[in-house]
A and B are shown apart, each in its own frame.
Chain A
Amino acid sequence: DIQMTQSPSSLSASVGDRVTITCRASQSIIIYLNWYQQKPGKPPKLLIYAASSLQTGVASRFSGSGSGTDFTLTISSLQPEDFATYYCQQSYSNYGYIFGQGTKVEIK
């Protein structure tokens, strides 16, 4: 099974900060990596697909990078509506679309 490990599990940041979240796969997933944002009581929302492609309608302050086993989600200037939990998800293996354990972004 491919395992996904996110870091950190939580972080505190201020509005306007640059925030970086890391996701590591246990084996190469090329660029089959998606990022989702989830707010309390809501379903996840797709932000980034194929490691670095911005989903239609998502703010340009979100960006993704990486390939192979190491990936990054960056929020260039954190906005109040960005406080949420972020999940990476590999779509490489048809037998297990594993999600990372999540990174909670909180207000400092």
Chain B
Amino acid sequence: QVQLQESGPGLMKPSETLSLTCTVSGGSISGYYWSWIRQSAGKGLEWIGRIYTSGNTRYNPSLKSRVTMSVDTAKNQFSLKLTTVTAADTAVYYCAREVPLTRDNYYYYAMDVWGQGTTVIVSS
């Protein structure tokens, strides 16, 4: 079955650019939406954005000015860049697959496969 694995720096300094990659295994990256979600310690889930394999993106308005997502279909990977990080960006970052699920002949999107998450700490 499809599995996702995040990779990233772990520890960063304020003002640096965070770069994370999600590798998709057990299936093709093509034809799906792929999302990034983060979770601060003891806090809830924050959707960062999503990318389709065509490169079409949607970002959370609160993060849009700092976020860029990209996809590499040849490597079966998609990536997240978050510029000018601060301590507030310290979180577990998850990647996830979005699929269209059917009900009464309509499609409804949900995140059905998630990576295990990678912890990013921003500290001077």
Contacts and interface: CB of A to CB of B under 8 A. Distances in A.
B103 interface: yes
A8 to B, nearest CB: 14
B32 interface: no
Contacts of A87: 44-45
Interface in A42-60: 42-46, 49-50, 52-53, 55
A87 B117 CA distance: 17
A102 B45 CA distance: 8
Nearest to B60: A96
Interface in B32-84: 35, 44-47, 50, 58, 60-61
Interface residues of A, number: 28
Nearest to B4: A43
Interface in A83-101: 87, 89, 91, 94-101
B112 A43 contact: no
Given A91-B109, A91-B110, A43 B94 contact: yes
B115 interface: yes
Interface of A: 1, 31-32, 34, 36, 38, 42-46, 49-50, 52-53, 55, 87, 89, 91, 94-102
B111 interface: yes
Given A1-B61, A101-B44, A46 B117 contact: no
Interface in B91-121: 94, 96, 101, 103, 106, 108-112, 114-117
Most chain A CB within a 10 A radius of its CB, from B35, B101, B108, B116? B108
Contacts of B60: 95-96
A97 B35 CA distance: 10
Nearest to A47: B110
A43 B108 contact: no
B47 A46 contact: no
A98 B58 CA distance: 13
Contacts of B109: 91
Nearest to A99: B45
Given A91-B108, A96-B61, A102-B44, A49 B103 contact: yes
